[in-house]
Amino acid sequence: MNTASRTLIAISVTLVVVVLALWFTNRGAVVREDTAPDNLQLGAVHAGATVEFSARFLVSSRRHPFDVFFERVLDRMPQSSVPALSKLHPKNFRKPPAAVDPATLKPSIQTPAFVRVQKTTVDSRTNWYQGRPFVTLDLALDTLRPGDYSGEIEVTLDRRRAALPVRVKIREKPADLPELLIATTPFEAYATEHGADFETATALLSALPLRVNYLQALPPELKSYQVILLADSALVDIGESEVARLRAFVEQGGRLILACNAFMVRSVTSANQVLADAGMQVVDNDYGRYVTVTNVAPDRLTRDVQHLEFHRHSLIQISDTTKAKALALATNSQSGFVAVSRRNNGGEIVVLTSSLWWHWLDRFKTNSDNARLMQNILLRD
């Protein structure tokens, strides 16, 4: 038997094996897909804190395992045979996803014992993930028992599977620990694809002498909190009743931090409703792409802060200097990008014109005092 004959036989055997593999297993293979974010390291929280978060599952960016297998086999074939063999690619044997009503789909969900599912939403969009459905979970932690917890939240739908690693440390709560509310929680399904983007914020918050609570929305009761950081959809969606409750919180001596800018549509409008009598207003426009601020006003909130970096921020105009003060000043102006309004009873409103405040911390973590400023405005003296 000559070399050409042996080669032909080898190719024929390989083709038979490939076709059989496709026939019996191509349709039934489980495809491992991704989540957004890709992991959640939630840092350290105190026992009894409320920790809510969300994530997207089955955001397909990985290739089908049989596509990978076939292409590896193809790489070992003679180049002259590749055009003909390519017609046997597994994707040619796989039907495109059929149109389906997402409301009729029932994904299988498995969570570790310290995570509970609050809401499941199945959605599909023609321009996302080749039109295949994806799943969004609203989730919360069980924080009653101190300890180190880790596990995976797994979602399976129609032989597609995605798993989100989650890790958190729950500490004992010391007596009289002040309460901080963050709404909207930064750990949100559409915030980022990369869990590492939260690391700077979680490291800072984990180190503070505060019991940090992460909520999806502003709760009806605010009296238990000493500091509230309001951003994202929780700020965008406030109505008259929420504005009244936030003002009452400040009048009772609380510190309210509003993170807003023109980039987060409607966040400036909502912030200005709260600021109606605070001696300052935010301009609903981008001030610039990147700005470095070294003109920092002396204040207890700017202690050890000398250099700040901003991106796509908005300008805060000071209209009454007896009520409000710019802390990170714009060039040749009394206006700025961070400002505070103080009440006689000790209540304060701090405005930071970086709506994605956690991203603002991470983006400039190596070349600014942004984290120090955030620490100062989160901690009450």
Q: CB neighbours of 168 closer than 8 A, spacing ≥ 6? A: 41, 42, 43, 44, 45, 51, 114, 141, 148, 149, 150
Q: Which residue, of 93, 111, 135, is where some domain finishes?
A: 93
pLDDT for the residue 334: 82
Query: How many angstroms separate the CA atoms of 106 and 53, rounded?
Result: 21
**216 plus 77 within the same structural domain:** no
Within a domain: 146: no
What does the alpha-carbon distance between residue 11 and residue 18 come to, in Å, rounded to a whole number?
A: 10
Give the per-residue pLDDT at 76.
73
Whether residue 202 is found in the same domain as residue 351? yes
Domain housing 14: 3-30+63-93
In a domain, 115, yes or no: no
Q: Give the tens place of pLDDT for each residue, 79-97.
A: 777 677 677 777 676 666 6
Place of tokens 């901003």: 310
- The answer to whether position 183 is within a domain reads yes
Residue 318: what pLDDT?
A: 96
Token pair belonging to 13 = 């055997």
Find the CATH number of the domain harbouring 348.
Answer: 3.40.50.880
Do 89 and 179 have their domain in common? Answer: no
Does an H or E element contain 236, and which? helix 232-236
Q: Do strands 179-183 and 211-215 pair parallel, antiparallel, or not at all (unpaired)?
A: parallel
Same domain, 196 and 330: yes
| Residue 92, pLDDT score | 72
- Domain for residue 212, yes or no? yes
Asked if residue 314 lies in contact with residue 283, where contact means CB atoms within 8 angstroms, the answer is: yes
Q: Give the end of a domain, one of 75, 93, 111.
A: 93
In a domain, 272, yes or no: yes
Domain identity same for 264 and 378: yes
Whole-number pLDDT of residue 98: 63
Q: Is the distance from CB of 344 to CB of 307 less than 8 angstroms? A: no
Same domain, 88 and 179: no
Q: Is residue 222 part of a domain?
A: yes
Among residues 77, 93, 109, the one where a domain terminates is 93
214 and 335 both lie in a single domain: yes
The answer on 184 and 74 residing in a single domain is no
Averaged pLDDT of the chain: 90
So what's the pLDDT on residue 63?
58
Neighbours of 52 (CB within 10 A): 20
Same domain, 87 and 189: no
- Of 297, 310, 302, 301, nearest in space to 368 by CA: 310
- Residues of the chain whose pLDDT is less than 70? 1-29, 61-69, 74, 82, 85, 91, 93-99
The pTM assigned to this predicted structure is 0.84
* Domain count within the chain: 2
Contact in structure between 369 and 310 (CB atoms under 8 Å): no
Q: Are 189 and 55 in contact (CB under 8 A)?
A: yes
- Whether residue 23 is contained in a domain is answered as yes
Residues 219 and 351 in one domain: yes
pLDDT value, residue 299: 97
**The pLDDT value given to residue 128:** 82
Residue 188 lies in a domain: yes
